[in-house]
Amino acid sequence: MFMDVLKFEFKKLLSRKEFNIVLMVKFILICVAFIYAVLTLYKFPSSEIPSAYQLWICQDGVNFVNYLGDIYALFLITLPVCIAYADTYLEDRKEKVFELIITRCKKEIYILCKAICVFLSGFIIVFFPLLLHQILCIIALPLYSISEATNGLPVYRSYFLSTQLYFFNIHVKNPYLHNILYMFLDGLFGGIVAIFSYSLSFLKKINRYVVIILPTVLFLTENFVAAVLHKANFSLGYYLSVTTNVVGMNYNIFSFSLIVLIMISVVIILTNVCRDDIE
């Protein structure tokens, strides 16, 4: 029964108009960002052309157009993952599909399967566009350019990165694995934000636009407050990029924030499901 419901929800996800539109728009924006970044390198001396991993959109600080990564992290992660599939429970309730489904399976199975698909929708919306951007960079640029040797000041750069760059050991072994790790971290973040948005749809008399927009508003507010208080290491946006610009970064902060977000989501869902059962 569980697998049947999960397959049903996953098929529903893949056929949903909003999911496909958001994914296509993300792919288009990624391609536009890549073309713009490549055009900035036009007529650059070959000794100054960056490596493919350095031009990846989330390589903040070494990217020639690193503000694109900032824009991407702030505005093109949280909102798209909430639009894609997070409001699906609210939609099922509105169209009376919910009542029909729970006559054929347990409510708990339905809610869990939908939560899994919501998480996957958020992960897919974030991970695959980032992967596409890295692939485009690999096609257009050398894997390792001579600019790293001619302009990199290797001794200083090695010390600087080892003290400022998170997951430095992975970066040393293979910077492309380092980028892929961040793709997974960003995908995980997108999936959990989608789950939080999904949990909001269980609140009584909640508006669809609130379900979709509120997580992004909270995310931007958190980043703004951290900036005002000069606590950049508490700004979640910085943890979504490969950055050397923030002192005191600790991924325990990022992990703790995601755990809290999951706990809040679970509490909201359980509280409202139990209330509905009582009523």
Average model confidence (pLDDT) for the chain? 86
Buried b (16+ CB within 10 A) or exposed e, 153-171: eeeeeeeeeeeebbeeebb
Q: What is the pLDDT of residues 102-119, one digit of tens each?
A: 778 888 899 999 999 999
| CB-count burial class (<10 Å; 0-12, 13-18, 19+) for 251 | exposed
End-to-end CA distance of the chain: 26
The structure tokens 């056929």 sit at 15
Q: What is the pLDDT of residues 247-275, one digit of tens each?
A: 778 889 999 999 999 999 999 999 987 76
Residue 225: both structure tokens together: 């407050």
Q: How confident is the model at residue 204 (pLDDT cuts 50, 70, 90)?
A: confident
Q: What is the pLDDT of residues 137-165, one digit of tens each?
A: 999 988 887 766 655 444 445 544 555 67
- Mean pLDDT computed over 68-96: 89
| CB-count burial class (<10 Å; 0-12, 13-18, 19+) for 190 | buried
Neighbours of 274 (CB within 10 A): 10
Q: How confident is the model at residue 87 (pLDDT cuts 50, 70, 90)?
A: very high
Neighbours of 220 (CB within 10 A): 15
pTM: 0.91
pLDDT of residue 155: 40
d(CA 5, CA 183): 29
pLDDT of residue 74: 86
Cα dihedral 6/9/10/11 (nearest 10): 120
Buried b (16+ CB within 10 A) or exposed e, 90-124: bebeeeeebeebeeeeeeebbbbbbbbbbbbbbbb
Q: What is the pLDDT of residues 205-253, one digit of tens each?
A: 889 999 999 999 999 999 999 989 989 889 999 899 887 677 778 889 9
Neighbours of 185 (CB within 10 A): 22
On whether the CB atoms of residues 191 and 122 are closer than 8 A, the answer is yes
Q: What is the pLDDT of residues 36-50, one digit of tens each?
A: 888 888 777 777 788
The DSSP output letter for 50 is P
pLDDT of residue 150: 55
d(CA 255, CA 253): 6
For the chain, the domains span 2-272
Q: Is the pLDDT of residue 64 over 70?
A: no
